[in-house]
Structure 1
Amino acid sequence: MYNNPELIYACKKNDEKAQKFLYEKYKNRLMGLCIRYTGKREEAEDVFQESFIKIFKNIKNVRKPEYLERWMKHLTINTAINHYRRKNKISFDNIYEIDCESNVYENILSDIDSERLLEIIHNMPDGYKIVFQLYVIEGYTHKEIAKLVDISENTSKSQLSRAKAYLKRKLEGLGITKFERYG
């Protein structure tokens, strides 16, 4: 119905039809993000609602229509992290011995159902979980994560390394002991 430039323009003008279209088009993706970062449906709904309020309030700041979804995802992730910060104190272990180049986790998805994998990720210690999701799932760099979460790049790298080790241990506990490297 709308292309992105038209949608952004109409939402800037507070066009209810365009806002409803934007909401319907992206609600599932953004709610999925919220659930992934909060782990609880009730909290996810709060973050989701807060995110959409921010989206409608700040849509005037979208400069490139082709990046609309990316901008919305970034805003939602920031909202989820800020929500988590307000609610809990995130603990990041500050260890500098790092093995971030090991990518043993990359092709395990075919050996485990997504529900179980998400459960393992949700049960990771907070620092591991946030960095793992931002780096592996969202594709942020360590520099971006450091800025977003207010930690050093080395802390981001060590948290990722520890998250990978945690994931590997949990998968081995499920009988998944062979990991393939790709790339």
Structure 2
Amino acid sequence: MTEEKAIQGCKKQDRISQKFLYDAYSDGMLMVCVRYVKNLPDAEELMLNGFFSFFRSIDRFVYSGKGSLVAWLKKIMVNECLMFLRKKGALRLVEEEYAGEIPVDGGSLNNINAGEILKMVTALPDGYRTVFNLFAIEGYGHKEIATMLGITEGTSKSQLNKGRAILQQLIKQNGCYYEQ
């Protein structure tokens, strides 16, 4: 079954089409959720809620080629995670008048794999982790992040820089290094 045919089937509430899309994308969407919440049971629940939202609102989705479905699913999953974190009170970000830049080393990273980086990202405090995910992984700009989280752009920049600084410390502590 093609992605486009599965979407058409889902719009008709066809369970086989729904299962096809769920099976095709659930692992990737679970990883999106894990990046925002630390524990796997919460991430699994958020992923399931995201798929329920997706199937309920599928009529509004317009397929525009390869990648459009994944982008829409990711947006739904991110929104589910943000609502969860807000409800939990985990998005307490510190407002600052001036978001000073914390120097971030350039260069390339060696001796580390994606799984190790994911563990380090999940070790960040909730606010830093959320802004880091939205900016560095999901590709949102600071203005969008500020709107999504109800903070200033300066706070978004500050949270990102502080999160990056902590990640650099964690990377160095784990014996990984940068090449300039």
Alignment TM-score > 0.5, same fold: yes
1:97 to 86, 94, 99: 99
The alpha carbon displacement at 1:107 in A equals: 3.0
C-alpha distance in 1, partners of 2:105/2:23? 36
Q: Check if 1:13 corresponds to 2:12.
A: yes
- Structure 2 SS opposite 1:178: strand
Q: Check if 1:85 corresponds to 2:86.
A: yes
Task: Return closer, same or farther for 1:101/1:144 CA change in 2, 3 Å cut-off.
Answer: farther
C-alpha distance in 2, partners of 1:172/1:28? 30
The alpha carbon displacement at 1:85 in A equals: 1.5
Q: How does 1:147-166 map to 2 (within 5 A)?
A: 147-166=147-166
AA partner of residue 87 (structure 2)? R
Counterpart of 1:71?
72
- Structure 2 SS opposite 1:44: helix
Task: Return closer, same or farther for 1:178/1:69 CA change in 2, 3 Å cut-off.
Answer: closer
The alpha carbon displacement at 1:132 in A equals: 0.6
C-alpha distance in 1, partners of 2:8/2:103? 43
* Contact 1:37/1:80 (8 A) holds in 2: yes
C-alpha distance in 2, partners of 1:48/1:71? 13
Q: What CA RMSD, in Å, does the superposition of the two structures yield over aligned residues?
A: 2.0
C-alpha distance in 1, partners of 2:105/2:24? 33
- Unaligned regions of 5+ residues in structure 2, if any? none
Counterpart of 1:107?
108
User: Deviations along 1:79-112, whole A, 9 cap, x unmatched?
Assistant: 01111221233121223233389463x732x322
User: Deviations along 1:46-88, whole A, 9 cap, x unmatched?
Assistant: 1011111101001111124331110111001110111122123
* Contact 1:122/1:129 (8 A) holds in 2: yes
C-alpha distance in 2, partners of 1:34/1:60? 24
* Contact 1:128/1:163 (8 A) holds in 2: yes
* Contact 1:145/1:156 (8 A) holds in 2: yes
C-alpha distance in 2, partners of 1:77/1:2? 25
- Structure 1 SS opposite 2:178: coil
C-alpha distance in 2, partners of 1:19/1:89? 32
Counterpart of 1:23?
22
C-alpha distance in 2, partners of 1:101/1:59? 43
Number of residues paired by the alignment?
177
C-alpha distance in 2, partners of 1:150/1:179? 37
AA partner of residue 116 (structure 2)? R
Q: Percent identity?
A: 32
